[in-house]
Amino acid sequence: MEEISLEPQKVERAFLVGIQEPGMSREDAEDHLAELASLTDTMGVGVAGQQIARVARPTPQLYLGAGKADEIKALADAHEADVIIFDTDLSPSQQRNWEELTGVAVIDRQEVILDIFAGRAQTREARLQVGLARMEYSLPRLRRAWTHLERQRGGAGMRGGPGELQLEVDRRVVMERITRFKRQLAEVRKQRAVQRQARGARPVPTAAIVGYTNAGKSSLLKRLTGADVFIEDKLFATLDTTTRRILLPNNQPLLLTDTVGFIRKLPHGLVEAFKATLEEAALADFLVHVLDISNPKIEEHYRVTNEVLEELGAGDRKTIIVLNKADREHDPYLLAQFRRHNPLTFKTSVATGEGIESLLQAFADHFILPMRRLHLRIPHNRFDLVNLVHREGTVHDQRHEADGVWLDADIPLRHLKDLAPFEPAPPD
């Protein structure tokens, strides 16, 4: 590995490169660039300048054509930038070529998001998840070294940032580390599954608050439950799930879970990594999809979140849509527009309290888990179904007999079709 600098290069002035793909409006490209600026700011690096590049077809060398690349280099120089950040994925060789061309650190959107996640991960599981995603990202890029921190930090479960990683270890060691992290994660996840099972036999419906980052999910949980959760006007304030119980106006209890926010082009490693955490969302009975009504990209945010939910297997869950931040300036037609898609759409402001009562009433009206009482005989070789009944239903009685496990339980209707075949015919 050539060209290893001994000190990680400290970066503090970023030049941002937005990408305008064919068919994309200038306005869209600008909104995306504004989001990258917000990510950069969240990472703790100042934005010195920015430029949108129109790209008809990415080139393998630099992503941009040679002329455009020289122009970016000159602009970054003029702004005295020490890091150039691309709002798109760069391959390891494109990244290397850019660094050779410009002499400054060059990173892409994924790396910014990974860095933010690494800085925010709190629980052991989150640290392992982010650490893993980051190592997999770093593996083909081991020669680079940069940092925006005064001192190197021990984020994400690896000692030091990418700089130290590069200096300290070679590829093989990283691969061993990846294997170890995967093993540890599997352990943590097993424990989580056990805990979930222990909580399993509860008739209390669960709802997960999901949505684009910064929409106000944690603020909503706090408003509804008084939970002391972390809220910040930065991206990815929340990485770990928090669950709180509330009593709805009809005295029915509901478990509400706050989850990590989504963003467009979320690095795939992170979606993979956070699948376990997001299982809480995937397993919830209902979803509360929070959107920032004042954000001009609200429709894209809606689409991106739905795509991730789809990937998590929660695309078909019954959902209430919350158009939050209604105290801010917004398009008054959005409510009607969203209601055409989903009649269960509500406009709120966590800041002023507007719409919160109606939202709680809607939870009460629509988040009652429809259950049916079944008497089942499940053969011994279908223990998965016995588990399912325990996990999702309320068991009133259970007997182990020679011909199977006899269960008397309330079952959520959505599992009816799996279980109905095991209802013995009534004796005549």
Ligand X SMILES: Nc1nc2c(ncn2[C@@H]2O[C@H](COP(=O)(O)OP(=O)(O)OP(=O)(O)O)[C@@H](O)[C@H]2O)c(=O)[nH]1
Q: Which residues bind ligand X (CB under 6 A)?
A: 213-219, 231-233, 235-238, 261, 324-325, 327-328, 349-351
Tokens at 43, concatenated = 């990472």
Q: Tell the smallest beta-carbon distance from residue 238 to Mg ion (Å).
A: 3
Q: Provide, for the chain, the percentages of residues in helix, strand and coil under a 3-state DSSP scheme, each rounded to the nearest 5.
A: 45, 20, 35
Residue 242 interacting with Mg ion (CB under 5 A): no
Residue 238 interacting with Mg ion (CB under 5 A): yes
Between 270 and 350, CB nearer to ligand X: 350
DSSP H helical ranges for 212-342: 217-225, 268-283, 298-311, 334-341
Q: Give bridge partners of residue 130 from the DSSP assignment.
A: none
Position of minimal CB gap to ligand X? 261
Between 206 and 214, CB nearer to ligand X: 214
Q: Tell the smallest beta-carbon distance from residue 145 to ligand X (Å).
A: 29
Q: Tell the smallest beta-carbon distance from residue 229 to Mg ion (Å).
A: 7
Residue 324 interacting with Mg ion (CB under 5 A): no
Between 82 and 258, CB nearer to Mg ion: 258
Between 232 and 299, CB nearer to ligand X: 232
Residue 394 interacting with Mg ion (CB under 5 A): no
Q: Tell the smallest beta-carbon distance from residue 373 to ligand X (Å).
A: 38
Q: Tell the smallest beta-carbon distance from residue 221 to Mg ion (Å).
A: 8
Which one of ligand X, Mg ion, none interacts with residue 346, CB within 5 to 8 A by kind? none
Q: Tell the smallest beta-carbon distance from residue 201 to ligand X (Å).
A: 30
Between 85 and 126, CB nearer to Mg ion: 126
Q: Specify the DSSP element, H or E, that contains 147.
A: strand 146-147
Cα–Cα distances (Å) from 355 to 322, 344, 360, 368, in that order, read 9, 13, 9, 20
Between 94 and 238, CB nearer to Mg ion: 238
Tokens at 233, concatenated = 């006007």
Stretch that binds Mg ion, among 19-27, 70-78, 203-211, 236-244 (CB under 5 A): 236-244
Q: How many CA atoms lie within 13 A of 328 on its CB side?
A: 13
Size of the site for Mg ion (CB under 5 A): 4
Residue 218 interacting with Mg ion (CB under 5 A): yes
Pairing assessment for the beta strands 394-401 and 404-412 based on DSSP bridges: antiparallel
Position of minimal CB gap to Mg ion? 238
Between 207 and 350, CB nearer to ligand X: 350
Tokens at 278, concatenated = 């997001």
Sketch the per residue contact string, 161 through 200, with Mg ion: x for CB under 5 A, - otherwise: ----------------------------------------
Q: Tell the smallest beta-carbon distance from residue 250 to ligand X (Å).
A: 25
Q: What count of residues does the chain have?
A: 428
Q: Tell the smallest beta-carbon distance from residue 276 to ligand X (Å).
A: 18
In order, the DSSP letters of 171-236 are: HHHHHHHHHHHHHHHHHHHHHHHHHHHHHHS----EEEEEEBTTSSHHHHHHHHH-------SSTT
Q: Tell the smallest beta-carbon distance from residue 242 to Mg ion (Å).
A: 9
Give the residue among 359, 35, 378 at the shortest CA–CA distance from 223: 359
Give the residue among 52, 18, 20 at the shortest CA–CA distance from 35: 18
Between 154 and 353, CB nearer to ligand X: 353
Q: In whole angstroms, what is the distance from residue 411 CA to residue 26 CA?
A: 52
Stretch that binds Mg ion, among 54-62, 139-147, 213-221, 266-274 (CB under 5 A): 213-221
Tokens at 75, concatenated = 């602009």
Give the residue among 279, 194, 201, 291 at the shortest CA–CA distance from 243: 279
- Contacting residues toward Mg ion, per CB under 5 A: 217-218, 237-238
